[in-house]
Structures are given as C-alpha cells and as structure tokens.
Chain A
Amino acid sequence: RKEVEQDPGPFNVPEGATVAFNCTYSNSASQSFFWYRQDCRKEPKLLMSVYSSGNEDGRFTAQLNRASQYISLLIRDSKLSDSATYLCVVTLTGNQFYFGTGTSLTVIP
C-alpha cells in the first residue's frame, strides 16, 4: 500500500476557475505535510506546508484532516502559470519524505 495516494488527473480548468486536489495518507503517525509543485521536466519546489489549523497563501489554501487522513489544496482564480503537477508529501519519521504521484493541472485560456 502506498504511503500517499493522489488522483493523477489530469485536471483541465479555464482561467479564473477554482480547483481542488485531495490526497490521502496511510499512516496515522505521519508527522508533517506539504504541497510541492513540479513544472514539466523540472525539479519539485515547495508550494506550501500544511498545518492542522489550515493555512492560506494568497490564492492557495491547504487543509489537513488528521481523522480522515487526507490533505487538500484549493486554488482560487486559476492562472495560466498555475499549470503544473502538484505533489502531496508527508513525513513519517523526520528523515523520510513520502511523495504522492502528483496531480496534473492545466489551466486553459
């Protein structure tokens, strides 16, 4: 069983749309949670950490539900530049980061 599961998509949305991604993790002892963004043929880069109380960074909102073991990412007012693959990441112990397979987003003009 994979530590982290994501819907691979693809999600194709028009500019200005709101889109949400979900991610589930299998181990209730998971400690930290993140969303990374990966552009085509590039390295992953941190988009935002996910806190238990939920957190927002501009158009991006991340939520964590420990009881149901899922993490979500909401993107409002989508821009063309948001087109990328979004990776859900959890840590089990401090030393091992587990990545989901990623959800592909294309924002259409």
Chain B
Amino acid sequence: NAGVTQTPKFQVLKTGQSMTLQCAQDMNHEYMSWYRQDPGMGLRLIHYSVGAGITDQGEVPNGYNVSRSTTEDFPLRLLSAAPSQTSVYFCASSPRYTGTAELFFGEGSRLTVL
C-alpha cells in the first residue's frame, strides 16, 4: 500500500551543498510532479513529467533539476542549495496528465538550508 514515497522526510543543508530528494510511486502513474509549500504562498509547481523521458518546468523551476528515467521514479535535485529553498517539498502523481484526475501526494520532505 505504498503509493507515493518520498525520502528523506527531513534534511538540513548548508548553503551551496547539493542534494537529491527521491520520489517513487508504485501505481504506474504517467504524471509526476514536484511542489514546494511555503507559508502564505500555497503549493507551487516546480517541475513535472508526463512520462518517462519527458519533463517540463512549472512555476518556480530555478535552482532545481529533474529527470524521469523510469515511470516509477522522479528525483528532484538541488544543485547549490540556498536559504530561499528552505521549504516543504511534496511529490505528487496522477494516473493521467489531462488535469482531470486526482493528484496523490507523498508525505513531504522538510528541507532547511542554513
């Protein structure tokens, strides 16, 4: 009954460090996406993918990279962490990319950049 699994749940980084947030889903969903949630800002889309080998930018892509080599996995890479990237990150998947299907979220990853 895994659904969408994110790791790690908590991470503290120093400015300039790099890291990867992992996201895996076992529902064979075509669509996967990454959001960040900040107080007063709501969830904002960082990157999304409509299938293996296909990725695209969302509202706030700067400072983040993604790849989708398999249907199941959609890692988010922070190349050089900045304090402005302190946030809660959510990975979400959906069975279709038509915008009519439910988004299933992981439990979130809380990142602090010092």
Residues of chain A within 8 A of B59, CB atoms compared: 96
The answer to whether the Cβ of A68 comes within 8 Å of any Cβ in the partner chain is no
The answer to whether the Cβ of B53 comes within 8 Å of any Cβ in the partner chain is no
User: B99 contacts A93, CB within 8 Å?
Assistant: yes
The answer to whether the Cβ of A95 comes within 8 Å of any Cβ in the partner chain is yes
Residues of chain B within 8 A of A93, CB atoms compared: 99
Give the complex CA separation of A26 and B55 in angstroms. 26
The total of interchain contacts (Cβ-Cβ below 8 angstroms) comes to: 60
The answer, among A31, A32, A46, A102, for a CB contact under 8 Å with B42, is A102
For residue B6, which residue of chain A has the nearest CB? A43
Residues of chain B within 8 A of A102, CB atoms compared: 42
Give the complex CA separation of A8 and B41 in angstroms. 11
For residue A90, which residue of chain B has the nearest CB? B99
User: B99 contacts A91, CB within 8 Å?
Assistant: yes
The answer to whether the Cβ of A62 comes within 8 Å of any Cβ in the partner chain is no
Residues of chain B within 8 A of A100, CB atoms compared: 42
A53-102 residues at the B interface, CB under 8 angstroms = 87, 91-102
Residues of chain B within 8 A of A4, CB atoms compared: 42
User: A96 contacts B45, CB within 8 Å?
Assistant: yes
The answer to whether the Cβ of B74 comes within 8 Å of any Cβ in the partner chain is no
User: B105 contacts A87, CB within 8 Å?
Assistant: no
Known contacts A91-B99, A95-B31, A95-B56; A101 and B105 CB within 8 A of each other: no
Residues of chain A within 8 A of B35, CB atoms compared: 99
Q: Chain A residues in contact with chain B, CB under 8 A?
A: 4, 8, 31-32, 34, 36, 42-46, 49, 87, 91-102
A-B contact pairs, 23 of them (CB 8 A): A4-B42, A8-B40, A31-B99, A31-B100, A36-B103, A43-B90, A43-B108, A44-B105, A45-B105, A46-B102, A46-B103, A93-B99, A94-B97, A95-B50, A95-B99, A96-B45, A96-B99, A97-B45, A97-B103, A98-B45, A99-B42, A99-B43, A101-B41
Q: Chain B residues in contact with chain A, CB under 8 A?
A: 31, 33, 35, 40-45, 48, 50, 56, 58-59, 90, 96-100, 102-103, 105-108
